[in-house]
A and B are shown apart, each in its own frame.
Chain A
Amino acid sequence: MKEPQAQRAVPDRSSAPRRAGDSRPFAPGSEPVHAPAAGFAAPEFAELYTEHSQAIYYLALRLLGDPERAQDATHDVFLKAFRKLDQFRGEAAPRTWLYRIAINHCRNLRQSWQERHVFSNADDAVWEGAVARTDSPLRVLETKELGQRIQKTLDELPEEYRLLLLLVADEQLSYEEVGILTEQTPDAVRGKLHRARKAFAVLFQKTA
């Protein structure tokens, strides 16, 4: 039986409160956390990992395209976060902070492995030309190959569209936070999101 996804309006997250549990920044001015070097003895760090590891892993997986590299990246991101834990003063939400570390880390990895994606504005004309097909909902079969199709689609996208879609997909990030992570205004995020969706839909259909 088909499970149609309800047409959910994309929430206006420009000023939306974050979800409980994830919106807790570390208390400003609190004592730095010098976690003893003994596993996850620091409860704050253990909680950080529990709450955010899946999001970070998924981002790394879809940015790097390889599960092993994503595992390495996730490990490295949280290790960096652990080392910087005493410097974190709660100016941003923990998840935003971790995403920033992850984005920079994955970007460095891609550049060092010469996987730079050159984005050309000419590509927009390709997506615009395929308006009719991309207006339809994305209809997929829940198969093991779905992940491969998604990865292939993301790999073909310009980097800024890829990152934008991955961040917007995380409902715990507001448009403002996405804008901070992608260095643009929330309005620019919305505008670019429209083009990124079209581009994704065009490429995704080709993977069928």
Chain B
Amino acid sequence: MKRQSQFHAREQQQEGERERQEAQPIEFATPEQLLRHDALHTPVPPAVGHRLQESVARLPMPARSWWRRLLGL
């Protein structure tokens, strides 16, 4: 029980330190540096890729050239 309470206390302390670090100000010399930082923390939702795969799979195959059809390619 004592070990658990020590563990919880340590966890809370670490969480507090993390929050303090996250709240520290960051400086950017230019707006584009700020945007770059923001972009790095803005991942593409995985659903976009999944949806795109499905859309691509539904596309009709392109028509083969007449010579390909002639040669059976």
Q: What is the distance, in angstroms, from B69's C-beta to the closest C-beta of chain A? A: 14
Q: What is the distance, in angstroms, from B19's C-beta to the closest C-beta of chain A? A: 11
Cβ B44 vs Cβ A169 within 8 A: no
With beta carbons under 8 angstroms apart, the residue of B39, B48, B61 that contacts A37 is B61
* Interface membership of chain B positions 29-73, coded 1 if the CB is closer than 8 angstroms to chain A and 0 otherwise: 111111110110011110111011111111111100000000000
Cβ A58 vs Cβ B31 within 8 A: no
Cβ A197 vs Cβ B30 within 8 A: yes
Also in contact, A75 and B25, with CB within 8 A (given A54-B43, A204-B31): no
* Interface membership of chain A positions 41-58, coded 1 if the CB is closer than 8 angstroms to chain B and 0 otherwise: 000010001000111011
Complex CA gap A185/B21 in Å reads: 42
With beta carbons under 8 angstroms apart, the residue of B31, B42, B49 that contacts A196 is B31
Count of chain B residues near A, Cβ 8 A = 37
Cβ B25 vs Cβ A141 within 8 A: yes
Does A192 reach chain B (CB closer than 8 Å)? no
Does B26 reach chain A (CB closer than 8 Å)? yes
Count of chain A residues near B, Cβ 8 A = 54
Does A29 reach chain B (CB closer than 8 Å)? no
Does A181 reach chain B (CB closer than 8 Å)? no
Q: What is the distance, in angstroms, from A33's C-beta to the closest C-beta of chain B? A: 10
Does A191 reach chain B (CB closer than 8 Å)? no
Q: Write out the residue numbers on chain A whose beta carbons fall within 8 Å of the beta carbon of B21.
A: 1
Complex CA gap A205/B1 in Å reads: 50
Complex CA gap A49/B50 in Å reads: 12
Q: Which residues of A contact B (CB under 8 A)?
A: 1-5, 7-8, 10, 34-40, 45, 49, 53-55, 57-58, 61-62, 67, 71, 74-75, 78-79, 82-83, 86, 137-143, 146-147, 150, 165-166, 168-171, 196-197, 200-201, 204
Q: Which residues of B contact A (CB under 8 A)?
A: 21-36, 38-39, 42-45, 47-49, 51-62
Show 19 A/B contacts (Cβ-Cβ < 8 Å), sorted by A. A1-B24, A35-B56, A36-B61, A37-B60, A40-B56, A53-B49, A58-B39, A71-B48, A86-B62, A138-B29, A139-B28, A140-B26, A140-B28, A141-B24, A170-B39, A197-B30, A197-B32, A200-B31, A201-B31
Q: A10-B32, A54-B42, A140-B27 are in contact. List 20 more A-B contacts (CB 8 A).
A: A5-B29, A10-B30, A34-B62, A39-B54, A49-B49, A49-B52, A53-B49, A54-B43, A58-B39, A62-B35, A71-B47, A74-B44, A75-B51, A79-B52, A139-B25, A139-B27, A140-B28, A141-B25, A141-B26, A146-B38
